[in-house]
Homo-oligomer: A and B are copies of this chain.
Amino acid sequence: MSSKETNGFYVPVIMIAGVGLIGGSLALALKQRGMVNQVIGLGRSRENLEKAKILGAIDEISTSVAEATRKADIIVLATPVGSMADILEEILPEMDRGKVITDVGSVKHGIVEQALDILGPLSSRFVPAHPIAGKEHSGVTAASDDLFQDHKVAITPSVETDADACKRIEDMWRAVGADVVTMGVAEHDRVLAMTSHLPHILAYAMVHLFASGKDKEKCYEMAAGGFYDFTRIASSDPVMWRDICGMNKEQVLTHIENYQETLGRIASMIEKGDDDKIEALFASAKSARAIVTERRKQNKDQSEAERQSGKRRVQQLVNR
């Protein structure tokens, strides 16, 4: 069965703590596909939850984590990282082996440790996940039911994670159109440091330098398409990225150090006029980027083929 089929995923009651862009989009995606009966939303802002209800993301607003946990089959933690410990504490008394808890955080090791600390043996019901999707805008008003379509979701179970819980969460993410990739916790935090955390920091640093120089006005005037694309990710939420730097501190610092070493080597080549080496490094980077482009295209083509194949199957069923 292809990873893109809905695989008949269904959950009677899902609880979403933190109905923002990610939590809200997951809710909309499940509702739009008729895969959930009831969505219970929790969060700090009553106003935001009311909006979420009006938008059709959630059915019920709850102010009690325990109450909502009791009713829920799947619990999704999508709040800012600082709230996690408290929520887990409140979940614990109502948690049982029939339920599954998962999260959506950008860094895995911290929440995995917290879940182990607080839930104890029941942490086997916790499936760490990271949907790699986003928009420049945040909050439930930016949420959309197709946010995860053709996007990657990393799932990072440990040996203790129950296989059925893991499958439940994999099925959920596939059902809303995502590609599930399983990885180790440490592996995830290293890989995402490279593919996401470091680039964001580099972009923030570039824009900060750009806006601080003495030629600032002319720089604003002459900044063109290349600068614009390169710095798009510096439009990301400063609070979220401050937290990611804090949560993935070790990997982020290692990657910054490695980057500075690479940049230093390039500076040295330029200083010495080592044209061949400079060209070789740039050329190898260009080739590597071409592989990234090729993979994106392959993923898009594969998704499209699966969609067409799914349509044909539906058509065959209809035609019988």
Seen from chain A, the residues whose Cβ lies within 8 Å of a Cβ on chain B are 132-134, 151-152, 154, 181, 183, 187, 190-192, 194-196, 198-211, 213, 215, 218-224, 226-236, 238-239, 241-242, 245-246, 249, 252-253, 255-260, 262-264, 266-267, 270-271, 273, 275, 278-286, 288-293, 295-296
Q: Which residue of B lies closest to A264 (CB)?
A: B260
- The interface residues of chain B lying within 8 Å CB-to-CB of A257 are 267
Copies of this protein chain in the complex: 2
Q: List 16 A-B contacts (CB under 8 A).
A: A134-B226, A151-B224, A195-B210, A195-B227, A204-B266, A205-B266, A220-B295, A223-B292, A230-B232, A235-B286, A238-B280, A242-B275, A242-B279, A246-B278, A253-B270, A256-B263
**CB proximity of A128 to chain B, nearest CB, Å:** 15
Known contacts: A207-B289, A230-B230, A231-B292. The answer to whether A191 contacts B222 by CB under 8 A is: yes
- The interface residues of chain B lying within 8 Å CB-to-CB of A264 are 260
Known contacts: A253-B267, A260-B263, A263-B205. The answer to whether A285 contacts B219 by CB under 8 A is: no
15 new A-B contacts at CB < 8 Å, known A191-B222, A223-B295? A132-B224, A203-B285, A204-B281, A205-B266, A208-B262, A208-B284, A209-B255, A209-B258, A213-B258, A235-B286, A238-B279, A238-B286, A241-B282, A242-B282, A260-B264
